[in-house]
With several copies, the nearest count.
Chain A
Amino acid sequence: MKKKQMATVISQEKLIDGVYSMWIKTDGIAREAHAGQFISIYTKDKSRLLPRPISLCQIDKKEDRLRIVYRVAGAGTKEFSNYQAGESIAILGPLGNGYTIDPSKPVVLVAGGIGVPPIVEAAKTAKECGAKITIVLGYRDQNTFLLEELKEYGKVVVATDDGSLGVHGTVIDAMEENKIQEGVIYACGPTPMLKGLQAYAEKYRMESYLSLEERMACGIGACLACVVNSTEVDHHSYVKNKRICTDGPVFSGREIEF
């Protein structure tokens, strides 16, 4: 069940410039969460009132802890980056549908930039199911994060915008180069990347599951802020507008019209 609750920061770590990793202790939210879901975090600065949606990077059900990895994009995430262990924060979650991993087919995890974090928990889940895992990661340059951790879960292919590491180009370029043409794509990253993957999946007749982003207010499907055009009518308004916060954030590539 979704709830708003106070959680406690366990640890905060800077991964690279502008990207932070935080573990938080929840009161049951972690126990109910799974890969691909997100929480919304409230800021303390009262000039900003809406919570910030952040994906779950790791879920430790046993200890009821969550890990998030986030980029400082504005004042809200800047505030988060200043939290110290012991700090009490308000969160809402678990939100969204998350990834449903099909272990019977090769699992292709694809992520770009700040889309990498949710792939960690997805990889862990896939590995637990015994799936065959390939991981494709796109970064701006050689300042990567979570890369070493992800290597534990399967074969990792890297692409960088500036060519300083791995394939010079996008994750799509890397996938073409490595002939990754089988299995199911589970992806998270910027919209152009997801659009590219949708086409890639169609080209090779792969299934794809893409995690989308949009500005959110309620996070629970009530306000209709966070819609994306869908190929079929949605089950809320019957107008081909799916709600990313509840129908998603993970959608089949076939559901979405970018």
Chain B
Amino acid sequence: MNTSVKIAGVTLKNPIMVASGTFGSGAEYSEFVDLNRLGAVVTKGVANVPWPGNPTPRITEVYGGMLNAIGLQNPGIDVFIQRDLENLKNYETKVMVNVCGHSIPEYVEVVERLADTNADLLEINISCPNVTKGGITFGTVPSVAEEVTREVKKVAKQPVIMKLSPNVTSIAEMAKAVEAGGADGVSLINTLTGMQIDIDRRKFALANKTGGMSGPAVKPIAVRMVYEAAHAVKIPVIGMGGISTGRDAIEFMMAGATAVSIGTANFINPYATVEAVEEIEVFMKEHGIEDINEIIGCVE
């Protein structure tokens, strides 16, 4: 039985990755799961310098999920390489580094610094606020997303996965734009922008007013977008958004994802990732699937 999949030339032992920002850099969850069991560890977004993130409250709970406005707090690329990437050398799993920035030069700087590290894949988060364009995100305008991709690709030594925002009219257009920019793959979905109001106190639940929605509640939207993106581009798609179990993972793969990430579900069940790996194997046995690659995009 083969569970390994290939993303832009990088072989993952299985399609289960973690979603950036929900798993730190793996250290905290290594107390619960054997990181060697994962297809890849995807690290929290890292910028060229430390980012302090947003004021609290940074999260709130919603029906079937949560809103977060962490604001991409991170220690910056220096500490990240020395401490977090170094620690991940102890595991036999692939590493995808999630990169954030306020401007194209910031993205480029981080990607350059990652060149000679043990990062296997780069995931470029274009849902960050774009200071040069007055705070709109890079990820909602196809031409801007294409430009980021192109500039990053110029300096990247590793395959570049562009992480798409779901807050767009056409995810297919966005996927095509980054493919045109030279992306080696796309990952989606990032969080859906949401809001919650505490009506008794007449205040926003989050200090940031809005937050990104994630968790089981967003799954149907994510599956639809993965399907649309997979049908729009030739590069591989990494699916995420509300995946809690191996069966959820298979749903995304049948929609067209080559690999998947588990995010919010880690908070609900710290063992979610390894349990998903096991559940996929059970499903394959039950359905006589020899090679997991058979099911990728099998529902047309």
Chains A and B share a contact (CB less than 8 Å): yes
- The interface of chain A, by Cβ under 8 A from chain B, is 1-4, 42, 46-51, 92, 214-228, 236-241, 246
Q: List 23 A-B contacts (CB under 8 A).
A: A1-B31, A4-B271, A47-B63, A47-B64, A48-B61, A49-B64, A49-B216, A215-B60, A216-B59, A217-B66, A217-B68, A217-B267, A219-B267, A220-B31, A222-B28, A223-B24, A223-B70, A225-B56, A227-B73, A237-B51, A237-B53, A237-B74, A239-B53
- The interface of chain B, by Cβ under 8 A from chain A, is 21-24, 28-29, 31-32, 44, 50-53, 56-61, 63-66, 68, 70, 73-76, 79, 215-216, 264, 266-271
**CB pair A222 B79 closer than 8 Å:** no
Q: How many Å from the CB of A114 to the closest CB on chain B?
A: 18
Q: Which secondary structure characterizes the binding site on chain A? A: loop
Which A residues are in CB contact (< 8 Å) with B31?
Answer: 1-2, 220
Which A residues are in CB contact (< 8 Å) with B21?
Answer: 223-224
How far is B147's CA from A221's CA once the two chains are assembled, in angstroms? 35
Listed residue (A1, A47, A218, A223) with the most chain B CB atoms within 10 angstroms of its CB: A223
Please count the residue pairs between chain A and chain B whose beta carbons lie under 8 angstroms apart in the complex.
109
Which B residues are in CB contact (< 8 Å) with A238?
Answer: 50, 75-76, 79
**CB pair A239 B66 closer than 8 Å:** no
Q: How many Å from the CB of A88 to the closest CB on chain B?
A: 16
How far is B84's CA from A221's CA once the two chains are assembled, in angstroms? 14
**CB pair A237 B50 closer than 8 Å:** yes
Which B residues are in CB contact (< 8 Å) with A228?
Answer: 56
Which A residues are in CB contact (< 8 Å) with B51?
Answer: 237, 239
5 shortest interchain CB distances as A-B pairs: A222-B24, A222-B28, A239-B52, A225-B59, A237-B75
User: Closest chain A residue to B18 by CB distance?
Assistant: A222
User: Closest chain B residue to A239 by CB distance?
Assistant: B52
Given that A47-B216, A236-B75 are contacting pairs, would A220 and B29 also be in contact in the complex, using a CB cutoff of 8 Å?
A: yes
Q: How many Å from the CB of A148 to the closest CB on chain B?
A: 33
**CB pair A49 B74 closer than 8 Å:** no
- Inter-chain pairs besides A225-B56, A237-B73, 14 sampled, C-beta below 8 Å: A47-B64, A50-B66, A50-B268, A215-B56, A217-B267, A220-B270, A221-B24, A222-B29, A225-B68, A225-B70, A227-B58, A238-B75, A239-B53, A241-B73
